[in-house]
Structure 1
């Protein structure tokens, strides 16, 4: 494991959490200090910080147990898998209405990570598969996910004005145009890819939100460019409806 950018304090906090999780409400500060070989002063600082962050709870007898914030994080971790299962169930119906493949993805910095796909038979198969990543600025999924971010966050993810890569002549070439398009996507609640990722294909995407209203994923459907004018209104309507159902089921 490359530890060039390793943060020892985080490693110690992780060790403390693992020990507490194995023996909840049984260990005091002195017990944790001895068991992990961390001096009492450092252990006090670690525990005090984690208590303030609600990672741990100090009980009346001075022992420690895991805090509510870890429960929230753990619940969010498992929800991403239940979202995939719900997507498969719901999208299996929607894909027959649109007669097009539907995809689910999340944002991984400046890229989209494909999580699941409900595919319709087609002479041309979409190259994107679960586990693959593509640049967010070239896809409708990516734009739907980026649209919720502040401009400062977009500038951090795309530090240069010139965007790269640009796989087709229709791909956005600079960050300023991307920001304008994201503002429009935020207002309309949908995002588009008009032959920007792959020549000959158009796509519409909508965001999926959690119970706090935060965007946690996006769904899309893609189709041949020659079908776009005929089916784009139906596709937008069904994708937005599917995104709303998946968001509601996250409550």
Structure 2
């Protein structure tokens, strides 16, 4: 049924925020208007309002998104609680294994990095907080979809693999079954040589993944001793179990 209610001003504001979120270098008023198919007079007042409310910054007539939306997202109680409990555990794990550790959540066909810890030595493959990453074929993407209600899982598969051939979707669906049976994902990167990612789901009371904690292992070639894949898997499992206990939510028994 067609929605009989409309809010043109709100829609213009949201359109501006969305187009700026997709731009890395900022946009001028003319560029924003062009991308939205609107004239300057339609967005001028709305842009000024967004700047005054600190959702958008204006640097030399170039507009960029601020961090306010990201900050507000962390005021949501479940996310705030998750981060509050997860960060100390992630810091301890990263310090112990000397690899980075990050936390990702599913978000409309992609996964968003909501926390990232770098080991004390500052070395390793690390993703930036706020980054949006493809679900397939990453380890974290696999666990975020594998541990879901069947209906939600199918919805997310379609969102994550748009315009993919049925054969590719079926291969991906089968890989999710394997991950679900194993209890976590531990795979070699298909994008970077020498990178191996291990990811465990953080589960809710119904056994559905609300986030994925991931350790990307980057092999050294200088003879420096590193934790083995199996050791990191076990330590990451313990960390996620510890986090689950603190959150009083799902447990991982694998």
**TM-score normalized by the length of structure 2:** 0.59
CA contact 1:101–1:221 (8 Å) conserved in 2: yes
CA 1:133–1:155 in 2, change beyond 3 Å: closer, same or farther?
closer
Kindly provide the CA deviation profile for residues 49-88 of structure 1, in whole angstroms up to 9, marking residues without a partner as x. xxxxxxxxxxxxxxxxxxxxxxxxxxx9312112112111
Q: How does 1:73-222 map to 2 (within 5 A)?
A: 77-121=76-120, 125-149=124-148, 150=150, 152-157=154-159, 158-162=161-165, 174-222=168-216
Aligned equivalents of 1:153, 1:146: Cα separation in 2:
10
Partner of 1:247: 244
Kindly state the Cα deviation for residue 125 of structure 1 after the two structures are TM-superposed.
4.8
Aligned equivalents of 1:160, 1:233: Cα separation in 2:
36
List runs of 5+ in structure 2 lacking aligned partners.
8-74, 249-254
Partner of 2:33: none
Runs of 4+ in 1 over 4 A off after TM superposition: 6-11, 121-125
- Partner of 2:178: helix, strand, or coil? helix
**How many equivalent residue pairs?**
174
Query: Which moves more between the two structures, 151-160 or 208-217?
Result: 151-160
List runs of 5+ in structure 1 lacking aligned partners.
1-5, 12-75, 164-172
Greater Rg over alpha carbons, structure = 1
Aligned equivalents of 1:201, 1:122: Cα separation in 2:
18
CA 1:79–1:124 in 2, change beyond 3 Å: closer, same or farther?
same
Kindly provide the CA deviation profile for residues 7-32 of structure 1, in whole angstroms up to 9, marking residues without a partner as x. 45698xxxxxxxxxxxxxxxxxxxxx
CA contact 2:183–2:200 (8 Å) conserved in 1: yes
The partner residue of 2:231 within 199, 211, 234 is 234
